[in-house]
Chain A
Amino acid sequence: MKILVCISKTPDTTAKIAFTDNNTKFDVNGVQWIINPYDEWYALVRAIELKEKDAATIIHLVTVGAADAEPIIRKALALGGDEAIRVNADSHDSFYIASQIAEVAKQGGYDLVLTGKETIDYNGSSIGGMVAELLDLPYVSLATKFELAGTKATITREIEGGEETNEVELPVVVSAQKGMAEARIPNMRGIMAARTKPLKVVEPITVEALTAVAGFGLPPAKAGVKLVDAENVEELVRLLHEEAKAI
């Protein structure tokens, strides 16, 4: 069993969101970077759990990014995983990134490619589906459970108002969300071990991006809260009905 886990570097959830260069670039000034939470808590930790059940499992991590992504990939290795691959490219659009990941996946011959359900910066939710199409593999998106028996995976995924159980033969691409695994914190042994785990750097393949960011913007600020007295709840209902027309 060979697993490829896709890891993305994202700004911390509490990072201040601002833009520079005439609103065309994200302002990285003072931003703390983290492993995209969906990649870390759900995709990577589930892969580690599978390895704990079957020691013969091999976990590789892949990230597409410049050298400044290395602290993030080392942090991921501290949680678990045998080796990491960094595709040495500035990030472009999701098609570009998915193409690089698919190339790594083709070279490595993996049974399972795991991604988080989306990154918390671009919120595209696209990488898993694109990688699956590039590899011509089945794709189960927004999975909340993943179990394995031999080469057959039993996966639970979210559907509107419920969930659905899917059975599929490996290889498969899966995007993971809450429910898949519980968040972990790397321990000292893991952090020490991560320093010496192999981190391969490969050059990107030539791919034309399909989209580009033309500009960023911030939503208009809220007008401010209208407080209603706790003794006058009927007034809130009136406002919601007559002013906000929400009920």
Chain B
Amino acid sequence: MSVLVYIDTADGHVKKSSLEVLTYGAKVAEQLGTSVEGVVLGTTTEDLSALGKYGVKKIHHVANEALNNFDAQVFTKVIAQAAEASGATVIVFSNNLSGKAIAPRLSVRLKAGLVSGAVALPDTSNGFTVKKNVFSGKAFANIAVSTQVKIIALNPNAYQTIAGEGTAEVVALNAAVDAAKIKVTNVTKASGEVPLAEADVVVSAGRGLKGPENWGMVEELAKLLHAATACSRPVADAHWRPHNEHVGQTGVAIAPNLYIAIGISGAIQHLAGVNRSKVIVVINKDPEAPFFKAADYGIVGDAFEIIPKFTAAIKKLKGVA
């Protein structure tokens, strides 16, 4: 018996969300009186044994180059073999892009009940129930899983990473790897920017900024805070900003520690994508903007006056000129 954590990587590096699920998995294992193991697919340049500080005792590494490209069908079969090797009764994924592609497949393959979008540790006092967000963050549901093997896909930023001491034993898993049916022909990444879904801080702006030429100050603020930039739907629809920056009901749903919304009124569709943020700051010149009702902190004022002052004040705090 064990808890198995899928350690997601990108370009051979362990993703930040993987550290969250490792910490979470270790806690679940503690609850169940068992140990946590991990599985890594593909080759990596990182020292996997160092992940032991997040509580993982043993890592199954399938260091097969064929797994450096993602194909959910192939990955599912390999993770199923790792689940068997580790005798996993609970399998944990991050509910990130890879998790969303693999976890449902693995659920079918292992006939294991899946809770996707989990936001808390399981309640094992009476059966096995896991809290998840539903209705786009407007409510939660407790999902009871009755199958022998259970799969949890944990929402990014829902569980805090805790690093302690320890080293993991890394063992090579010689798994059968099918030929991928999906061929990856091109990858484009915005270099140097913080990926939106994983960002701790997000600086977002809306129509209040009046035009794409005014985004310089948003980008400056974001850079200062090591934040990702985002935007509202009208801004993406007007092509002021790329579509992948659109947060909201029909765009990306995010849950950063800090969400700063500038010149966004806060339509219900927008709130649905950001209401899981821990702290929300709203800057809007309209005191009646609905976003203020969902905010923790707010300033009623003109973005073009507030943002430079805000940036200057943060520079002062951080001691940068």
Residues of A within 8 A of B143 (CB): 211-214
Number of interface residues of A (CB under 8 A): 78
User: Is B42 close to A, CB under 8 A?
Assistant: no
State whether B108 touches A95 (Cβ < 8 A): yes
User: Is B222 close to A, CB under 8 A?
Assistant: no
Q: How distant is B103 from chain A, measured CB to nearest CB, in Å?
A: 7
What separation, in Å, do the CA atoms of A14 and B258 have in the docked complex?
25
Residues of B within 8 A of A148 (CB): none
Residue positions of B touching A, CB distance < 8 A: 10, 15, 70-73, 76, 95-97, 100-109, 111-117, 129, 132-147, 181-190, 193-198, 201, 225, 243-244, 246, 249-251, 253, 257-258, 268-269, 272, 278-279, 281-282, 292-302, 305-306, 309-310, 313-314, 316-317
Task: Write the A142-156 contact mask toward B (1 if CB under 8 angstroms, else 0).
Answer: 101000000000100
State whether B298 touches A226 (Cβ < 8 A): yes
State whether A162 touches B117 (Cβ < 8 A): no
User: Is A188 close to B, CB under 8 A?
Assistant: no
What separation, in Å, do the CA atoms of A161 and B198 have in the docked complex?
9
State whether A166 touches B183 (Cβ < 8 A): yes
Q: Which A132-146 residues have C-beta < 8 A from chain B?
A: 132-134, 136-142, 144
Residues of B within 8 A of A226 (CB): 296-298
State whether B297 touches A237 (Cβ < 8 A): no
State whether B317 touches A166 (Cβ < 8 A): no
Residue from A161, A167, A215 within 8 A of B183 (CB atoms): A167
Q: Shortest 9 CB-CB distances between A and B: which pairs?
A: A129-B104, A230-B301, A162-B189, A161-B195, A210-B113, A133-B108, A133-B105, A126-B104, A165-B186
Q: Which A153-183 residues have C-beta < 8 A from chain B?
A: 154, 157-169, 178-179
- What's the dominant secondary structure at chain A's contact region? mixed
What separation, in Å, do the CA atoms of A210 and B133 have in the docked complex?
18
Residue from A17, A161, A211 within 8 A of B139 (CB atoms): A17
State whether B102 touches A38 (Cβ < 8 A): no
State whether A141 touches B310 (Cβ < 8 A): no
Q: Which A1-33 residues have C-beta < 8 A from chain B?
A: 11, 13-14, 17, 19
Residues of B within 8 A of A244 (CB): 258, 279, 296-297
Task: Write the A203-247 contact mask toward B (1 if CB under 8 angstroms, else 0).
Answer: 000000011111111110011011111100110110111001011
State whether A237 touches B97 (Cβ < 8 A): no
Q: How distant is A226 from chain B, measured CB to nearest CB, in Å?
A: 5
What separation, in Å, do the CA atoms of A197 and B194 have in the docked complex?
48
Stretch at the interface among A46-54, A63-71, A105-113, A117-125: A117-125
Closest partner residue, chain B, to A10 (CB atom): B135
* With known contacts A129-B72, A162-B190, A227-B299, A237–B136 Cβ distance under 8 A: no
Q: How distant is A76 from chain B, measured CB to nearest CB, in Å?
A: 17
Q: How distant is B305 from chain A, measured CB to nearest CB, in Å?
A: 7
What separation, in Å, do the CA atoms of A167 and B182 have in the docked complex?
6
Q: How distant is B208 from chain A, measured CB to nearest CB, in Å?
A: 14
* With known contacts A210-B113, A217-B139, A244-B279, A161–B300 Cβ distance under 8 A: no
* With known contacts A139-B73, A141-B101, A230-B300, A246–B142 Cβ distance under 8 A: no
Closest partner residue, chain A, to B17 (CB atom): A160
Residues of A within 8 A of B146 (CB): 210-212
Closest partner residue, chain A, to B315 (CB atom): A237
What separation, in Å, do the CA atoms of A22 and B216 have in the docked complex?
51
Residues of A within 8 A of B10 (CB): 159-160
State whether A230 touches B299 (Cβ < 8 A): yes
Pairs across A and B, CB under 8 Å, 26 listed: A19-B139, A123-B117, A123-B135, A123-B253, A125-B104, A126-B114, A129-B105, A133-B76, A138-B181, A139-B72, A160-B198, A168-B182, A178-B243, A179-B243, A218-B139, A219-B139, A225-B295, A226-B296, A227-B299, A230-B306, A233-B306, A233-B310, A237-B310, A240-B258, A244-B296, A247-B314
